[in-house]
């Protein structure tokens, strides 16, 4: 089995535990030496004497039975892959390592968007960052019994991510991929999506308990949240499980501590239309407006991601609190069925003091390009109305930031354009303001 650096922090790397694998990279030793039997490997060579591996999900600890000849460049190694649960050690290890012939630097770099940063870059994260939209911990697959839950708390601590808006998927049971698009494959059976939501909410709470995370229920909870004690805002991507019954919102608030609700997902539902299917309702429905008003009254953040511009315009006219659009990017020439938004769409969210989360989708090649995508949105709506929505483990393709441990790299990339106080806003401060306003 061949692993690439893109696999680290993803389910594929964890599933390789105990298997024979191959991986290519650059050795890092404490002192210059032609051979070593215990060293670290990175995607790229260190850039200077002070450059050390600072991302535990972008480093592999190599353990060999005999000294290996390292040379001055990249090497390809084979061995037995181990995934460690030691919080003080490296997560990924290669045991009984052997050198294999034939590897080029170009091949290594082409396999990864990661780059090594000097230690001072770590100071750019203050432990208060918030991800507006996440499926971290492998929650989607685990909820349907297709895989197990994965560790999300450790990379959050390592990268400085205090809180994630962790999502169940409201229309998950009826979705399929067709012609490269996620689409509803059938109409749900009566009560099917409601029953599925309860299974997913229960699995979400299982993840929180098993990884000793905290649940954010109040504004005070979020103000206190830090990466040293990772927290979760219980979130639903799509309100399809309401089935037009407003009382189920109250139930989810009390029973599951729901504090963020995305109105629509990949299925035009009782609340309104979506970007990736033909319009059915002409935007937000009357029931969708009723849900927004109830969320405002109860203290639930409303997310209009996936909704059409017509839906967003009526939602903006309905709400009395700021809203978010949790995961998207800017495009003034969008393709049909795109999930990107125009400048006018973005300004509508900013007009109600809301926040737009930018995602690290496949069109964004690396962390530097991700930072540029964030900056483009800031140019349109201002630094007070932009955040990050990684959609971790929810993207169809690779991510430019596959692990929360990569967050210091994003902060470092943003530092070329923004001041530290502005970076703090973009990485979580803006969302914290919206949450506090909505929950109060």
Q: Tell me if 196 sits within 8 A of 172, measured CB to CB.
A: yes
Answer yes or no: is pLDDT of 85 > 80: no
pLDDT band at 56 (very low <50, low <70, confident <90, very high): low
Answer yes or no: is pLDDT of 54 > 80: no
CA 289 vs CA 248, 257, 333, 341, 439: distances in Å: 16, 22, 29, 21, 18
Q: Residue 87's pLDDT is what?
A: 66
Q: Residue 57's pLDDT is what?
A: 65
**Whole-angstrom distance, CA of residue 106 vs CA of residue 87:** 33
Q: Which of 45-59, 151-165, 389-403 has the lowest mean pLDDT?
A: 45-59
Query: In 10 A of CB 51, how many CB atoms?
Result: 16
pLDDT band at 219 (very low <50, low <70, confident <90, very high): very high
Percent of the chain with pLDDT over 90: 68
Strands 231-237 and 260-262: parallel
Block residue for tokens 């215990």: 38
pLDDT band at 86 (very low <50, low <70, confident <90, very high): confident
Answer yes or no: is pLDDT of 265 > 80: yes
The kind and range of the H/E element at 75 are strand 75-83
More confident residue, 73 or 51: 73
pLDDT band at 44 (very low <50, low <70, confident <90, very high): low
More confident residue, 84 or 438: 438
Q: Residue 250's pLDDT is what?
A: 97
Residue-wise pLDDT for 284-322, tens only, equals 999 999 999 999 999 999 999 999 999 999 999 999 999
Residue 120: CB partners within 8 Å, gap ≥ 6? none
Answer yes or no: is pLDDT of 74 > 50: yes
In angstroms, the first-to-last Cα distance of the chain is: 51
Residue 405: CB partners within 8 Å, gap ≥ 6? 9, 55, 56, 57, 58, 155, 158, 159
Q: Residue 27's pLDDT is what?
A: 84
Answer yes or no: is pLDDT of 390 > 70: yes
Strands 214-215 and 181-184: unpaired
Q: What does the mean pLDDT of the chain come to?
A: 88
Which residue segments constitute the domains of the chain, with CATH numbers given? 5-116 (2.40.50.870), 121-439 (3.20.20.140)
Percent of the chain with pLDDT over 70: 88
pLDDT band at 122 (very low <50, low <70, confident <90, very high): very low
What mean pLDDT do residues 83-99 have? 85
Q: Residue 120's pLDDT is what?
A: 38
Q: Residue 116's pLDDT is what?
A: 42
> Tokens for 6?
């893109």
Answer yes or no: is pLDDT of 118 > 70: no
Answer yes or no: is pLDDT of 207 > 90: yes
Q: Residue 119's pLDDT is what?
A: 36
Answer yes or no: is pLDDT of 55 > 70: no
pTM tops 0.95, yes or no: no
Residue 281: CB partners within 8 Å, gap ≥ 6? 268, 272, 273
CA 132 vs CA 165, 247, 300: distances in Å: 5, 25, 14
Q: What is the DSSP string of 152-188?
A: -HHHHHHHTEEEEEEEEETTGGGEEEETTEEEE-SPP
Q: Residue 145's pLDDT is what?
A: 84
Residue-wise pLDDT for 315-364, tens only, equals 999 999 999 999 999 987 767 788 999 999 999 999 999 999 999 985 65
Question: Which 3-state string (H, E, C) describes 296-362?
Answer: HHHCCEEECCCECHHHHHHHHHHCCCCCEEEEECECCCCCCCCCCECHHHHHHHHCCCCEEEECCCC
pLDDT band at 34 (very low <50, low <70, confident <90, very high): confident
Answer yes or no: is pLDDT of 109 > 50: no
Answer yes or no: is pLDDT of 149 > 60: yes
Q: Which of 132-136, 142-146, 348-352, 387-391 has the lowest mean pLDDT?
A: 142-146
Q: Tell me if 26 sits within 8 A of 73, measured CB to CB.
A: yes
Q: Residue 104's pLDDT is what?
A: 46
Residue-wise pLDDT for 158-174, tens only, equals 999 999 999 999 999 99
Answer yes or no: is pLDDT of 187 > 60: yes
Q: Which of 77-91, 185-199, 409-423 has the lowest mean pLDDT?
A: 77-91
Q: Residue 64's pLDDT is what?
A: 92
**Whole-angstrom distance, CA of residue 262 vs CA of residue 161:** 22
More confident residue, 69 or 322: 322
């Amino acid at each position: 089995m061949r692993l690439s650096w893109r696999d680290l922090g993803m389910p594929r790397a964890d599933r390789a535990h105990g298997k024979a694998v191959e991986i290519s990279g650059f050795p890092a030793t404490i002192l210059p030496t032609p051979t070593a039997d215990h060293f670290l490997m990175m995607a790229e060579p260190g850039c200077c004497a002070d450059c050390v591996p600072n991302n535990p999900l972008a480093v592999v600890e190599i353990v060999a039975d005999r000294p290996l000849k390292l040379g001055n460049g990249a090497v390809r190694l084979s061995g037995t892959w181990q995934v460690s649960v030691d919080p003080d050690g490296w997560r990924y290890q290669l045991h009984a390592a052997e050198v294999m012939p034939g590897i080029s630097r170009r091949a290594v770099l082409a396999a990864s968007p990661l780059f090594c940063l000097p230690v001072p870059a770590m100071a750019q994260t203050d432990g208060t960052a918030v991800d507006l939209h996440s499926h971290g911990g492998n929650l989607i697959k685990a909820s349907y019994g297709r895989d197990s839950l994965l560790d999300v708390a450790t990379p959050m601590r390592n990268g400085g991510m205090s809180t994630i808006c962790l999502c169940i998927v409201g229309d998950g049971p009826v979705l399929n991929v067709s012609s490269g698009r996620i689409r509803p494959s059938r109409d749900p059976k009566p009560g099917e999506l409601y029953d599925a939501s309860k299974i997913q909410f229960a699995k979400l709470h299982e993840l929180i308990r098993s990884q000793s995370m905290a649940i954010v229920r109040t504004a005070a909870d979020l103000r206190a949240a830090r990466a040293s004690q990772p927290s979760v805002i219980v979130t639903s991507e799509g309100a399809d499980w309401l089935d037009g019954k407003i009382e189920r919102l109250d139930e989810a608030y009390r029973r599951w501590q729901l504090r963020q609700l995305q109105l629509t997902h990949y299925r035009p539902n009782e609340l309104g239309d979506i970007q990736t299917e033909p319009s059915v309702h002409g935007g937000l429905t009357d029931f969708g407006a009723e849900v927004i008003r109830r969320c405002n009254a109860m203290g639930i953040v409303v997310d209009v991601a996936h909704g059409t511009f017509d839906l967003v315009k009526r939602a903006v006219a309905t709400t009395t609190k700021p809203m978010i659009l949790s995961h998207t990017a800017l495009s003034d020439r969008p393709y049909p069925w795109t999930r990107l938004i125009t400048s006018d769409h973005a300004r509508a969210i900013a007009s109600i003091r809301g926040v737009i989360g930018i995602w690290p989708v496949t069109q964004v090649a690396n962390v530097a390009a991700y930072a540029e995508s964030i900056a483009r949105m800031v140019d349109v709506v201002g630094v007070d109305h932009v955040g990050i929505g990684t959609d971790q483990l929810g993207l169809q393709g690779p991510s430019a930031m596959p692990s929360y441990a990569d967050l210091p790299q994003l902060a470092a990339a943003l530092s070329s354009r923004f001041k530290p106080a502005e970076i703090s806003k973009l990485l979580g401060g803006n969302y914290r303001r919206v949450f506090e306003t909505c929950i109060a």
